[in-house]
Amino acid sequence: MSRKAWRDQIVETALEPDIAIVDAHHHVWENQPFPPFDPYDDGDLLADKTQSGHRIVGTVFVDSHTSYRTDGPEQLRVVGETDYAARIAEAALARGGTEVGICAAIVPSADLRLGAAVGEVLDAHAAATRRFRGIRHMVAYDPDVPHSHHNGAGLMLRDDFRAGFAELVRRDLSFEAWLLQSQLPELVDLARAFPDARIILNHLGGPLTIGRFAADPKASFAAWKADMATLATCPNVSVKVGGRRASTRPAVALRSVRPTSRRRSATIC
């Protein structure tokens, strides 16, 4: 069964349609992304926002790997995504009505491994739109997770990454942390090293039930719970509830806040 077919099985009526909701984490692709992700462009997002039955007053666009610039300095090409999201936001604002608030905040990507040089990238994002709030540098990696991002272990402990992270903190920008369960201790170390940072843990810290974690799921959950409890002692970290869980079951996309619709889901990575 495809993801779309799975989602289309149930369409639920909004239980509390008057509650103001901000969708704190969604993606949009100008072109169809690589498999297994479904197409999801600005028209799809607008339909979810305006036709779901919920009162969605704002949305936060997060790093979607789309619409990068095709020329200019390599490190600045990611700013094309910020341009794209800003165009969506401004067009919706101009049309007015229930479309207003889409991509109200924009959280693109930047490679923190650039060290101090990433400051130029952050400033370019900021110059592109007043909606820029921070970045997500995907750090998710575990040797037992197929197709996890190949950054290798210990990325958040590296000197070059932390030099780039310092540039982010200096500008009071947020950091969206997408990682996996085995990396939670690294995030604790990062949060304690930068107490003024604003860190947002994505997808519940990536609990795992595959590979070596499959042998004893209860022990795996207990270890994840313990690491999350330690992370909770860091006052500069907040957590988004939505996410994908790496398991032997088919991937199910969840929302970071209550869903706008069961027909579609933009929060899949």
Number of neighbours of residue 54 by Cβ within 10 angstroms: 23
Alpha helix (H) residue ranges in the chain: 3-7, 42-51, 79-95, 118-128, 159-170, 184-193, 217-231
Read off the pTM.
0.87
> For residue range 3-44, what is the model confidence (pLDDT) as tens digits?
778 888 988 899 999 999 999 999 999 887 777 778 889 999
Q: Is residue 90 part of a domain?
A: yes
DSSP 89: H
Q: Is residue 246 part of a domain?
A: no
Phi, psi dihedrals of residue 130, rounded to the nearest 5°: -70, -10
Q: Is residue 49 part of a domain?
A: yes
CATH number at residue 61: 3.20.20.140
Q: Is residue 228 part of a domain?
A: yes
Number of domains in the chain: 1
> For residue range 175-215, what is the model confidence (pLDDT) as tens digits?
999 999 999 999 999 999 999 999 999 999 999 999 999 99
Q: Is residue 253 part of a domain?
A: no
Domain span at residue 185 reads: 3-9+17-239
Q: Is residue 121 part of a domain?
A: yes
Q: Is residue 51 part of a domain?
A: yes
pLDDT of res. 36: 73
